[in-house]
Each structure stands twice: as C-alpha cells, then as structure tokens.
Amino acid sequence: MRVVSLVPSLTEAVAVTLPGALAGATDWCDRPADLDVVRVGGTKNPDVDRITALAPDLVIANEEENRAPDLDALRAAGLGVLVTEVRDVPGAFRELARVLAACGAPSRPRWLDEAEAAWAAPGPGGVAAGRRTAVVPVWRRPWMVLGRDTFAGDVLARLGVDHLYAHHTERYPRVPLDALRAAAPDVVVLPDEPYRFTADDGPESFPGLPCALVSGRHLTWYGPSLAEAPRVLGAALRAARR
C-alpha cells in the first residue's frame, strides 16, 4: 500500500504501525520525529496535483480537519479517499482500527490495545477531588472555545472535567473574553494547539482562575498518544487547582 495522510494523528498511527506505507503527509505532520516522506501542503490547503502524482492507493482524511472540496478533487482524480469522523474516545478506537485495516495492517497493533486499556480503567488519570468545570479556549483573537460534540470534550469528560460550552449550538463557538471569565469555571484548560497557549500567553487573561497548560497532541490527537494521554493530561489537570 502507498498511503497519503492529511491528518497528523493518523500519520503517526500509520507510520508507527506500517513503516514504509506512507508516501506523503502534510506539512503539519511532525510525528514520528524522524518521518521522511513527501510533504503535500497543509491540512486545509493540500496540493492535489502533488498528491495525485504520488499515485497513492489511499488518501486518509478527517471530516473536521480537511475541506470537502479538496477531498472531492482527489476523488475526481481517481484516488481512493477514506474519511474519518471522530467525536469521542470509543469512536477514535473504531476509526483507528478501520484506517489501519484499510492501509493493509495484517493485525491490530499492540499500541491500540494498550491505548484502549488505558481508557477502560475507571477514571483514567482522573481528578481525585471529583468533577470540575472548565472553559477550553482553542484560539484567541478572537477567543474560540470547545463547544458541542468534540473529541477533546469527551477526553476531558472522561478525566473528570466538564467544559461549560458542551451544549452550545456550535462546535467551536466564539465567546467574548468577559463571558468566559464570568462563567467562573473551576479551571481554564489551555492546549498548545491549534493556538499555542503558553505560560506567558493565555493565563494572564484569566486572573484568579487556575489554568492547566496541556499538550494538544494528548488532548486532540487520536493515535499512539492515546495510550499515555490519561496519565499526561490527568497530571496537568491535577496540578491546576484553586
């Protein structure tokens, strides 16, 4: 199989499971660290001609990360396109198994079993003092937060943290900063992607509120990182208390 991946987390999953299968990946695919494949542009602006020239057997994509017109153009060029849809942790495991099988994996990889086991334990990496509320910005200028029906929201819920915009009509609503502060969450969760929040860029906007700086790879990626995500995220969440 020759595979082109347009999703960083799927790139890592395929590269770890089927070394040599990847013919191309996006500019944002930075895992594994030694990945050496043809780069085909970004997740939102892939180079269709370059992908077509690679003559892959399969292009793997995601309904949220990739644009439908780009995927339609790849199909029109005669390429097979597999599109994943991931809204929760169980769905991530199902889609990963489907993708890896489609890419030619002869059996289920050990890391996938280990990841599923890590999330099957009661309260994986959870917060000892019970459930807490959160707002989870994913961008600023303007401020945008996790809304309804997101994979990252389900990850946090399984770790004892309920984000306050889980029932918003939009998946990634724009919310003014004053409204985020007024919501008075127990914790503000600040990932380092897609916006790169840091200790010097983000927490200062929420004076008096505990802020948890977390790895975006562990919060939003579905792949080998799922095996360690409960432990890594749980530690960061426990460290952020009033």
Which tens digits make up the pLDDT trace of 171-183? Answer: 999 999 999 999 9
Position 1 pLDDT exceeds 50: yes
Identify the pLDDT of residue 163.
96
User: Could you tell me the domains of the chain?
Assistant: 3-108 (3.40.50.1980), 122-239 (3.40.50.1980)
Identify the pLDDT of residue 17.
98
Position 192 pLDDT exceeds 90: yes
- CB neighbours of 34 closer than 8 A, spacing ≥ 6? none
Identify the pLDDT of residue 121.
76
Q: At what angle do helices 89-102 and 8-17 cross, to 10 degrees?
A: 50
129 pLDDT band (50/70/90 cuts)? Answer: low
Measuring CA to CA, how many Å separate 71 from each of 6, 57, 130, 220?
A: 10, 14, 43, 22
Identify the pLDDT of residue 83.
98
Q: What is the mean pLDDT of the chain?
A: 95
Identify the pLDDT of residue 241.
77
Q: Has this prediction a pTM greater than 0.85?
A: yes
124 pLDDT band (50/70/90 cuts)? Answer: low
Contact 202, 190 (CB under 8 A): yes
122 pLDDT band (50/70/90 cuts)? Answer: low
Which of 63, 16, 73 lies closest to 40 in space, CA to CA? 73
Identify the pLDDT of residue 128.
45
* Integer Cα distance of 131 and 228 in angstroms: 21
- CB neighbours of 27 closer than 8 A, spacing ≥ 6? 39, 40, 41, 42
The string of pLDDT tens digits covering residues 81-99 is 999 999 999 999 999 999 9
Position 200 pLDDT exceeds 80: yes
* Integer Cα distance of 7 and 81 in angstroms: 12
- Residue 203 per-residue DSSP state: G
Identify the pLDDT of residue 123.
59
Measuring CA to CA, how many Å separate 151 from each of 5, 10, 177, 194?
A: 19, 15, 23, 14
Position 66 pLDDT exceeds 60: yes
Position 126 pLDDT exceeds 70: no
